[in-house]
Chain A
């Protein structure tokens, strides 16, 4: 079955430090991959997506992610974290259900805290 694993429940980084959030997926075909961010009390905002082509994708707010097929990973990175990046981050894979529709399968999320 399709699944997404985010191994880190909570990460704390210092402001200005680099960030990498891990995401591993299980899916037999070429995946469609997404990262979403959720600030407290808010809905989910799409950060970036991978459909095909260049394995390094750029997103909003200075984030990027790299698709590595050999490792079944799609890790999110940012070279310098700002205090406003404190939020929860969700990785998702688009998965065909074998019927008429494909849906998103979400990981359980990684909460990012930023130290001054």
Chain B
């Protein structure tokens, strides 16, 4: 199984800051990574698919990059609604493993 290692597991930031979260796959997965945002008590919401494609309706301050084994999610100009937990997910093969999650506070 492919392992997805996220870092950091928590990050403190302030409004207007730029935050970068990384995800490393245990083997090459081309561009098959998605990024989600999850708020307490809510289902995850897809932000990015195919490593860098912004889902329709997601603010442009969110961006994704990477290919192969190393991927990043960047949030530029933090807004109050961005404080949440973020997960990466490999979309290359079963069992579509998620990263451990990064809590942004």
Q: State whether these chains interact.
A: no
Residues of B at the A interface (CB closer than 8 Å) are none
